[in-house]
């Protein structure tokens, strides 16, 4: 128990992904934020999207390579090839097209197997008028556009990331439970190396694997739906009238551990929260298991 909130003796089951960071800059903060937001569109879940992506943080102009306001975004996919395809398409459609923007690698790697091509593919939009510039060991492509040039880094580093860290927050009412998960999201957003890819960082439509309809890969998690009490083997307890899920992707196991701990602690302090749990498939989905009781004591997740 934490402040009269039950913490289930269970774990969140997460799985390996390939992740990267991009730094998007622009002439002003508004344009950088717009480009970053567009880049992250339709990227909530790899169940139905080409990648999972989200804004990591705002990067002040004194911390960016070109001295302009920036935004860091993280993107994740199941493998390097899928990540390269998704990132390149998103930068081409949503960053290249936005006024005054530039795009830089937020991660570096000397190993070819740990890099994805971004500028080296988008350069062809220049139709032969593009040219490259090398700064130390980094190559940038300068692509002519109608307001000047779009500057984009040739390659971007990637790391072995983790997807699917999660918390299930159960409360007495929709209003109170929503306020609790908003507090949890705010706590997690202060941490580096993680994103919550769903809209506002909150999931109302938690899913289970499979469906009675064969074409669907996933369907509503009926055990956690308050309106289906009596029609399914419910996981809800008396008084629990609303459940929201927070899904976390991170660049490392430690980053996801810290984020889940921060979210759990913030949600547990909120009025109306009765229980905090997590989603798993008995260890069959992924090798990363984040035990809630260990998060309470600051212990690391187990593999």
In this prediction, residue 296 has a pLDDT band, given cuts at 50, 70 and 90, of low
> What pLDDT, on a 0 to 100 scale, did the predictor assign at position 302?
47
The pLDDT of 290-299, averaged and rounded, is 79
Bridge partners of 167? 246
Q: Which residue has the tokens 């260890």?
A: 283
The pLDDT of 204-230, averaged and rounded, is 94
> What pLDDT, on a 0 to 100 scale, did the predictor assign at position 283?
77
> Closest by alpha carbon to 169, among 203, 219, 200?
203
Residues of the chain with CATH 3.30.70.520: 6-14+162-297, 17-159
The pLDDT of 219-245, averaged and rounded, is 96
In Å, how far from its chain's centre is CA 277? 20
Q: HEC states along 76-131? A: EECCHHHHHHHHHHHHHHHCCCCCCCEEEECCCCCCHHHEEECHHHHHHHHCCCCE
Cβ pair 170, 240 in contact under 8 A: yes
219 pLDDT exceeds 90? yes
> What pLDDT, on a 0 to 100 scale, did the predictor assign at position 297?
60
User: In the chain, pLDDT over 90 holds for what percent of residues?
Assistant: 90
Number of residues written out for the chain: 303
1 pLDDT exceeds 50? no
Indicate the pTM of the whole model: 0.94
148 pLDDT exceeds 60? yes
Q: What would the CATH number be for the domain defined by 6-14+162-297?
A: 3.30.70.520
In this prediction, residue 136 has a pLDDT band, given cuts at 50, 70 and 90, of confident
Q: What would the CATH number be for the domain defined by 17-159?
A: 3.30.70.520
Q: How high does pLDDT run on average in the chain?
A: 95
Cβ pair 141, 155 in contact under 8 A: no
The pLDDT tens digits for 47-63 are 999 999 999 999 999 99
């Amino acid at each position: 128990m934490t402040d009269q909130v039950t913490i289930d003796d269970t774990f969140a089951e997460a799985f390996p992904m390939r992740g990267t960071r991009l730094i998007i800059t622009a002439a002003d903060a508004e344009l950088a934020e717009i480009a970053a937001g567009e880049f992250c569109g339709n990227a909530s879940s790899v169940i139905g999207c080409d990648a999972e992506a989200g804004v990591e943080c705002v990067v002040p102009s004194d911390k960016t390579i070109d001295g302009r306001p920036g935004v860091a975004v993280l993107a994740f996919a199941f493998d390097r090839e899928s990540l390269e395809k998704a990132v390149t398409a998103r930068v081409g459609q949503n960053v290249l097209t936005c006024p005054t923007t530039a795009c830089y690698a937020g991660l570096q790697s000397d190993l070819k197997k740990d890099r994805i091509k971004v500028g080296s593919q988008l350069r062809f939009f220049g139709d032969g008028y593009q040219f490259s510039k090398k700064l130390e060991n980094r190559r940038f492509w300068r692509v002519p556009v109608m307001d000047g040039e779009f500057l984009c880094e040739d390659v971007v580093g990637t790391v072995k990331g983790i997807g699917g860290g999660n918390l299930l927050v159960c409360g007495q009412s929709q209003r109170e439970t929503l306020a609790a998960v908003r507090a949890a999201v705010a706590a997690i957003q202060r941490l580096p190396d993680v994103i919550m890819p769903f809209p506002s960082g909150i999931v109302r439509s938690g899913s289970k694997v499979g469906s009675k309809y064969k074409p669907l890969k996933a369907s509503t998690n009926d055990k956690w739906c308050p309106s289906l009490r009596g029609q399914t083997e419910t996981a809800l307890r008396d008084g629990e009238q609303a459940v929201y899920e927070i899904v976390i992707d991170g660049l490392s196991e430690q980053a996801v551990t810290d984020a889940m701990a921060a979210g759990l602690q913030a949600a547990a302090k909120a009025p109306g929260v009765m229980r905090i749990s997590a989603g798993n498939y008995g260890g069959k989905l992924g090798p990363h298991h984040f035990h809630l009781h260990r998060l309470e004591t600051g212990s690391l997740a187990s593999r």
